[in-house]
Amino acid sequence: MSIKSIFAYSFQSFYLAGSFLLLFIFLPTFYNLSLGMSLKTIGLVILLSRFFDIISDIYIGYITEKRLINNYSKKNQILLGLIIFIFSLAGLYIIQSTNIYLFIFYYNLALISYSIAIIPYDSIVIDQKKISKKRFKLATFKEIFTISGVLAALVIPTVISEYLSLNLLNPGVISITGYIMIALAILGFFFFYFFYDDDVNFHSNSLSLLEIISFLKKNKKIIHFAIITFFNLLANNFTANLFIIFVSNYLGLTEYAGYLLILYFTITLASTPFWYNFGKKFSNMFLLQIGTSITLIGFLFVVFTNSSNWELYILVILITGIGVGIDLIIPQIELADILDDNKKNRLSQIFTSFFSIIRKAAIGIAAGIALTGFGYLEKNGVSIIPKVPNIMIFYFFIPFLIKLIVLALVMRYRSKFHVSIRE
């Protein structure tokens, strides 16, 4: 794959990740604090939409695989998904309707169009031939652009708010941010259309949906890795959904929320070369074990953080940012390695959609429980644990316990996965 093609491919992650961050971290808080939507309502919409999204992902993955068997290009499907996704961004960022039905429509349209594009897009990494170093390199570049897009999505509204002397979640700030993200999406569309030239397709034997489900049940590696991935994403998204609320309400740092997010993802981006070089010598699951351990150590300091010593939260960001860096690289690589053992019916789109379902289910459940649960407790003044702020239950204790489960699962199943170093 040429440098031009790698850039055209990776650039899609830039604006997709940026829009994704705004969609799941900024927009729920924005629609609550700035547009007056109930936090419970938003949480329920996200949760229920995720279940609908899961069903659509199953269908999209299956149809994508069938069409690719008949020489339908991944490139065309990605471009179709991007066009619809741009339209949904306009609805959420620019129109900003307080009508709950329009919010549901644009939100679900964003989820569906994202799936139409991301399932064949992510499968391109998986479909690289079994050259571990090449696969790891492509995934690393992709995630560099992903984190860069996240940083851009944070920097853009922060700079706009500072320039216009407005709150970060001001409707005007969000609207201008939306225009910029749409412009980047259009630019990415043309980059991908004209410069991406490595549309690799692994052709598989046609399988029925029941045969695919049967295969999933029999392949213990995929099931074990799916469980690990689900719990890992669940923990990460508990903290992601409540980050702004935690920083603003608990630490009293509303004006610094954007800067702290920028710092977090800057550290994550800076750790990528470290993980890339480290990954040349060690297996995927060992890397995940080390990254999870680092995250747990760093996150412990949240317990000692409050509005009086908020500086300690900087240490939390620095350490966890390094640990989470590996979470972005490993999933696609390990899935690709697992599928290398099944060359006859590779079905990369099917399994990409399967893990997309896992990712979205984890995000939806985390958002639904964190936002709805915390919103209910705050509104009703209920205290689960005396002398422990309700937000700490959802921001620290639950995700910390889930991360411990992830570490235990990785340590238990590590030997069953690929243990050889990369060639």
Q: How does pLDDT run across 227-258, given as a tens digit for each residue?
A: 898 999 899 888 888 888 888 888 888 778 77
- State how many domains the chain has: 1
Q: Specify the CATH number for the domain of residue 109.
A: 1.20.1250.20
Is residue 3 a part of any domain in this protein? Answer: no
Structure confidence at residue 203 as a pLDDT band (50, 70, 90):
very low
pLDDT at 340 over 90: no
pLDDT at 406 over 90: yes
pLDDT at 423 over 50: no
User: How far apart are the C-alpha atoms of 291 and 406, rounded to whole Å?
Assistant: 11
Is residue 204 a part of any domain in this protein? Answer: no
Structure confidence at residue 300 as a pLDDT band (50, 70, 90):
very high
Is residue 222 a part of any domain in this protein? Answer: yes
Is residue 251 a part of any domain in this protein? Answer: yes
Is residue 203 a part of any domain in this protein? Answer: no
More confident residue, 258 or 93: 93
- Predicted local confidence at residue 299, as pLDDT: 93
Is residue 346 a part of any domain in this protein? Answer: yes
More confident residue, 130 or 124: 124
Is residue 277 a part of any domain in this protein? Answer: yes
Q: Which domain holds residue 228?
A: 8-195+209-416
- Predicted local confidence at residue 140, as pLDDT: 76
Is residue 422 a part of any domain in this protein? Answer: no
Mention every residue, 6+ apart, whose C-beta is less than 8 A from residue 157: 26, 168, 173, 174, 176, 177, 258
User: How far apart are the C-alpha atoms of 248 and 140, rounded to whole Å?
Assistant: 33
Mention every residue, 6+ apart, whose C-beta is less than 8 A from residue 86: 182, 185, 186, 189
Half-sphere exposure (Cβ direction) of 386: Cα atoms closer than 13 Å: 0
